[in-house]
């Protein structure tokens, strides 16, 4: 098989639907591995690389939400598209909160599914080509030393940073110029044991503005995106 093919893990226990989806995805030139339950999905993820996972919610052995949560706890950034017969806003929010990138309810339009798959594949390719951060990162008059867990502010002051501050800075900078959702921050920085309020994350952003912005009321680098998340902008 071509090494350039995009690989998709399709997790769907309904045999007819899996066969139909697999066929249509392969017609779009994707390489598809199909499994029928949550346990097999986790095994497959651990054994090989996939560019995307399409994940049904109602699965035998282990449900899709639990699979999604487990994948994110392993710090795996694979884009996840959830398919679900559950169409309430609460179900959708739960799926996104547990780490899904997109949520599509059944029955769905095939063309819409393929469009969403294409969008998530592009995201996967951006992740794959993302350069790891150096131990030190400079922007404006500021310097962050990830190894020493400290920063030099715009005023030349050296400040020790908490572990959470370092993790949030790293996450935002790695995704520079892109909005990082509150859910993604929860997964990456706080894990699943503690859910901070939006105000808690806002306070971190306010601290970053105090350290790094020339004018904290009109930030250049650290932005809150109402109703969505937060963004680091590189000038």
pLDDT tens, 53-81?
999 999 988 999 999 988 987 767 889 99
Are residue 175 and residue 92 in the same domain, yes or no? Answer: no
Note the pLDDT of residue 192.
55
| pLDDT given for residue 52 in this prediction | 94
Tens digits of per-residue pLDDT, 143-179?
999 989 999 999 999 999 999 999 999 999 988 888 8
Tally of domains in the chain: 2
pLDDT averaged over every residue in the chain: 88
Domain of residue 26: give its range.
Answer: 7-129
CA nearest 212: which of 136, 135, 139, 137?
A: 139
Read off the pLDDT of residues 211-223 as tens digits, 9 standing for 90 and up.
999 999 999 999 9
The share of the chain scoring above pLDDT 70, in percent, equals 93
Q: Are strands 222-225 and 229-232 parallel, antiparallel or unpaired?
A: antiparallel
User: β-pairing, 31-35 with 136-139?
Assistant: unpaired
Give me the pLDDT at residue 184, please.
78
Nearest-CA neighbor of 10 among 22, 24, 1?
A: 22
Same domain, 66 and 171: no
Confidence of residue 122 (pLDDT cuts 50, 70, 90): confident
Last residue of a domain, one of 129, 156, 186: 129
Closest CA to 164 of 214, 204, 216, 209: 204
Residues 14 and 102 in one domain: yes
pTM of the model: 0.63
**1 part of a folded domain:** no
DSSP strand E in the chain: where?
7-11, 31-35, 52-56, 80-84, 102-105, 136-139, 142-145, 150-152, 158-160, 180-181, 222-225, 229-232
Q: Mean per-residue pLDDT for 123-147? A: 83
- Please indicate, yes or no, whether residues 141 and 122 belong to a single structural domain of this protein: no
Tell which of 97, 129, 161 closes a domain: 129
Do residue 92 and residue 56 come from a single domain? Answer: yes
CA atoms of 107 and 197, how far apart (whole Å): 34
- In this predicted structure, the answer to whether residue 188 has a pLDDT above a threshold of 80 is no
Judge if 11 and 107 occupy the same domain. Answer: yes
Instruction: Give me the pLDDT at residue 149, please.
Output: 92
| 3-state class percentages of the chain: helix first, strand second, coil last, to nearest 5 | 40, 20, 40
Q: What is the pLDDT of residue 95?
A: 87
The confidence score (pLDDT) of residue 2 equals 42
Mean pLDDT of 27-38: 95
> How big is the CA angle at 108 (ends 105 and 112), to the nearest 5 degrees?
110
Say which range, 86-90, 101-105, 146-150, 194-198, has the weakest mean pLDDT: 194-198
Q: Is 2 a domain residue?
A: no
Does residue 208 carry a pLDDT above 80? yes
- Residue 206: which of 223, 189, 220 has the closest Cα? 223
Backbone angles phi, psi at 226, to 5 degrees: -55, 130
Is the confidence at residue 87, as pLDDT, over 90? no
Residue 47 sits in a domain whose CATH number is: 3.40.50.2300
The last residue of a domain, from among 94, 129, 164:
129
| pLDDT for 196 | 66
Q: What's the confidence (pLDDT) of residue 63?
A: 93
More confident residue, 190 or 159: 159
The pLDDT of residue 1:
37
Pairwise CA distance, residues 200 & 69, whole Å: 22
């Amino acid at each position: 098989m071509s090494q350039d093919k995009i690989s998709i893990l399709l997790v769907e226990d309904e045999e007819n639907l899996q066969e139909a989806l697999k066929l249509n995805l392969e017609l779009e030139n994707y390489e598809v591995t199909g499994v029928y339950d949550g346990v097999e999905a986790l095994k497959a993820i651990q054994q090989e690389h996939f560019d995307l996972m399409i994940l049904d919610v109602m699965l035998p052995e282990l449900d899709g939400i639990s699979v999604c949560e487990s994948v994110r706890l392993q710090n795996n950034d694979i884009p996840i598209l959830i398919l679900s017969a559950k169409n309430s806003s609460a179900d959708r929010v739960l799926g996104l909160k547990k780490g899904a990138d997109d949520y599509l309810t059944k029955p769905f339009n095939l063309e819409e599914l393929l469009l969403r798959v294409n969008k998530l594949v592009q995201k996967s390719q951006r992740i794959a080509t993302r350069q790891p951060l150096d131990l030190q990162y400079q922007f404006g008059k500021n310097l962050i030393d990830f190894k020493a867990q400290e920063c030099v502010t715009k005023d030349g002051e050296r400040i020790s940073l908490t572990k959470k501050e370092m993790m949030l800075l790293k996450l935002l900078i790695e995704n520079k110029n892109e909005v990082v959702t509150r859910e993604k921050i929860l997964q990456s920085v706080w894990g699943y044991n503690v859910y901070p309020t939006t105000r808690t994350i806002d306070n971190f952003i306010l601290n970053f503005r105090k350290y790094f912005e020339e004018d904290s009321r009109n930030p250049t680098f650290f932005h809150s995106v109402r109703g969505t998340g937060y963004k680091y902008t590189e000038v």
